[in-house]
Each structure stands twice: as C-alpha cells, then as structure tokens.
Structure 1
Amino acid sequence: MEDNKRKQIIEKIKKLLRLAKSSNEHEAALAAAKAQELLATYNLNEEDFSEREMPKEAGTAHTDTVKKPAGWVYILAAAVAGAFDSQYFHHPGQGLTVFVGVGIDHEVANFTFGYLYRSINKLAAKFMSKSQQRRLSTKGKRKSRLSFCLGATQVVALQLAMQKQVTPITTTALVPVKHALIVQKMETYGVRTDETDPEDVSERAYWIGRREGATIDHKRKAMPKGARPIGITA
C-alpha cells in the first residue's frame, strides 16, 4: 500500500475509534465495526497508531443469553472471543455472556456472537419443526436440538479460527499487552464454563447441524444501518 493511502486509512480508523467511544451506543457500535473491518481489509494493527491512540485498559460488552446456557453456547463464545483476541465469561445471575477485550475487539466480538447465536437458534428451530423431530419424546427433542446446535457451532468455530489465521487481529508482539489488560479487567468477575456429555449427543442431528452451520455467514462485517447494538458497556 502506498504511504499516502496508508496514512489516509489510518487517519480514518483513528476517527472511527474516537467515534467508538461515543455515548450514543448505536453510533459507537457502527464505528467500532467499521474500524475493525478496515483493520482487517488493509492488514493494519495497533502498531500503526501512535501511543496516544493506544487503549490503556480493557472494556466489556455483553449479549443477553440465558442464565444457564447449553454447552454449545460456551463453545461459540470461546470461538468468537478467540477470533477477536478477547476473552469471555458467563454471568449466571443476569443471564449475560460478557466479552472482555482491548480497543474495539470486545465490541466486535459481542456483535459477532449475537449474530451467530441468533442464526444458530433460528436454524435449530427450523430443523426441529420437521416431522421427524416433532415425533420425538421431550427428552429426544432436547437431545436432537442440542446436537444440531453443537454441530453448527463447531463448524462455525472452525471457520472463525481459519479466518483468524488469514487476517489476524493483533501482532505477536502486542498479544501479551492485550492479555495483561484483559486479565486486569476480569479480576473483578467470575468465569463459568460447561461441558457437553457425549451421551447427550445425537449423531444424526449433530452432523446436520454441522452442515447447516456451514451456511452461516461468519465473516467480519459492519453492523447494518439501523441495527441496534446488543448491550455494549464501558
């Protein structure tokens, strides 16, 4: 990239990063997503910005899920957090999935997670509406739905990991810097994890879930015009 064009892009991203701190949640989320899109498109990172622009602490953003999510939700949250150099934890008391990151990482991770979470649930509802699933017992329906979601989640997680290899968010030198800031932020929070029992998995539904999960558009994108961000906090 030519130096002049590079400087123009960097200045544009700086303006977006400043807008991302706006008190207007919608404006802030749009700016954050657009800045992340430009960073990925032009293969830029924090080293391209002055120290004055570098964040000094981690922030959080959250999505309303449920008080006790299924195992696939934890897998999805972990995959998204990893893809955007963030960490996450679940707040069981309030039913929140919280992302912790530096700069705009946690905001974009939160938006991406919300989109994928809704997409997988929507596909699962469609799958469960078919006659073969409707004939199952209550326990069978639960097992089938969870297996579908697990299959969809794991293929999406793989796609996110592959995407990060192609367009990493953070340079190697800055990874420990971000990590330290995230750890500081998470010290005041508890972390909840969950495991999926293999006996609770329907192989058929799992593989259909993987097939359907592959159809979800997982690529980084700006929030659509008029969309409302999901629970972004400072």
Structure 2
Amino acid sequence: MDEKIMERLKKLLALSKSPNPHEAALALEKAQRFMAENGLCQDDIDLLDIGETLADSVLSSASAPPEYMGWLLTVITMAMGCKALYARKKVAFVGVSARCEIAAYMYDVLARQLRKQRRDFIRALDKRTLPKNRTAKADAFCEGWVMGVQSRVEAMKISAHEKALIEKFKQKTYTSDEEIKLRQSKKVRGQSDAANKGWKAGREAQLDRGVAGPRAQRGMQGLVIIDELC
C-alpha cells in the first residue's frame, strides 16, 4: 500500500474512534469511501500495524554468516514476536511496528556486545593456538554466549492471525524467500570450556529494552528468511 494512502487511512480510522459520536460517524463514512476509492479491503486495515525496521548492525562481513548470528536473531524474534529477514548483509525485522523497533534496537546492542567479547576472547587465548583453532574456539564461545542470552529471555506468544498478517506483509513487500546458508563452527579440543565461558558472559549481557529513536522504515528487495516464528 502507498505510504501516503496508508497514513491517510490511519488518520481517518483514528478519528472514527472519537468520543464525539458525530465526528466518529463522519470519519468512518470518509474512511469507507476512501477505501472504496482506493480499492482497499479489511486485510489492508489489518496490515496497518504491521511494518519493518532495518537494524543498523550488519549480520556479518563474511559471505556465509556464522551460525551463532542466526541463533541471536532467533532469540530476539522469539522474544519480540516478529520475523527477521536478511539481504546485503543487513537485517530487517518484520511484524507489529512498535515491537520491530525494539527488536532492531536489541539486535544492535547485543551484536555489538557479542563482537567485542569475541575479540576479547581471541586475544586472551594462548598465543600458540593455531588460527583455525582460534576461530573454532571463538565460535564455541559465541554459541555459548547466545545460549546465555536466551536463558534470560522469555518467548512472546503471538496469535495465528498475527503470524498470518506478518507472512502476508512479507509476501507483498519482498521478492525472495530463499534460505541463507550459515557457516557452522568446527569441532576442536577445548570447545566445551569455551562455550561455558561464553554462556556465563551471555548471562551478563545488557538487555536494555528501551525504545530506540525513529528509524527509517524502508523496504528492501531480495530479502531471505533467517528464522521461523515460534
């Protein structure tokens, strides 16, 4: 739906809830006429609260993002009852607009913390550790970190109707639903110890749910699904 048309319809529907009966009736009449003129239906009204928010932080600079970043998105989308989509190394959250704002904010905050703690973990490793083992242990640390965060987050239950609206919005807005390939971590000695350290660090992650400032609500073509709704 065109943004100007959407905003106009939102205003008319808001006025139709006025405590003034005459004003409410007039606004409802205008809203119905406006919908008829623009070929809108009840589904279009239902979709008014569904939107998208683009996160500031990239998913990964690598062509195949690490699996733990996909896990992090899953934790956040389950907590906020939305869906995460991906393209050009950027992440968009789709669902009820207010919750998507918070989801994008949470992702930006947590992704920065995770990347910093990954770097710190690698620096603390024995200098004799081979590069490939450094990466594997750091991956295990990050996986544990995300699990630590998950242990502090409660999943949000959303209705089947809301899930259907999110799916409808996605189909209308995005042209691709390809699944992205995530890089899995390699097995290495000391992996469990690294994961345990990550879990403890993740338990201490800052999960401030303060509402972020205004974000650009812009569509992106060719996005791919990262996770499924709970």
Checking the alignment, whether the CA contact within 8 Å between 2:53 and 2:92 is kept in structure 1 is: yes
Q: Please give the TM-score of this superposition, normalised by the length of structure 1.
A: 0.62
* Partner in structure 2 of residue 176 of structure 1: 160
1:60–1:228 CA distance, 2 compared to 1 (3 A): closer
For 2:96 and 2:64, how far apart are their aligned partners in 1?
Answer: 27
TM-score, scaled relative to structure 2:
0.63
AA in 2 matched with 1:208? K
1:211 alignment counterpart: 200
1:27 match: none
Q: How has the CA–CA distance of structure 1 residues 220 and 123 changed in structure 2, closer, same or farther, with 3 Å as cutoff?
A: same
Give the deviation of 1:160 after TM superposition.
1.4
* 1:115-150 deviation per Cα after TM superposition (whole angstroms, max 9, x unaligned): 111111111111111142x32111011101111110
| Paired residue type of 1:199 | K
Q: Aligned-pair distance for 1:221?
A: 2.1
Matches of 1:56 and 1:88 in 2, distance apart? 19
Alignment map for 1:76-91 (pairs within 5 Å): 76-91=72-87
How far apart, CA to CA, are the structure 2 residues paired with 1:61 and 1:112? 12
Q: Distance in 1 between matches of 2:121 and 2:137?
A: 9
Contact 1:107/1:232 (<8 A) preserved: no
2:85 counterpart letter in structure 1: F
| Residue of structure 2 aligned with 1:125, choices 114, 119, 130 | 119
Amino-acid identity (%): 16
Task: State how many pairs are aligned.
Answer: 168
- What is the CA–CA distance in structure 1 between the aligned matches of 2:185 and 2:124, rounded to whole Å? 25
Taking a change above 3 Å as real, the CA distance of residues 221 and 57 of structure 1, as seen in their structure-2 partners, is closer
Matches within 5 A, 1:182-201: 182-187=166-171, 188=174, 189-190=176-177, 191-192=179-180, 194=182, 196=184, 199=187
Letter in 1 for 2:218: T
Q: How many Å separate the matches in 1 of 2:168 and 2:54? A: 18
**Aligned partners of 1:233, 1:200: CA distance in 2, in Å?**
42
Counterpart of 1:114, as a letter, is D
Task: Flag the structure with higher helix content.
Answer: 1
Quickly say closer, same or farther: Cα 1:193–1:79, change in 2 above 3 A. farther
Compute the displacement of 1:102 (Å).
1.5
Counterpart residue type for residue 153 of structure 1 = V
Root-mean-square deviation (CA, aligned residues, Å) is 2.9
* Consecutive unaligned residues in structure 1, runs of 5 or more: 1-17, 19-52
> CA deviation digits over 1:178-211, x for unaligned, max 9?
2112101222332435373573681111111001
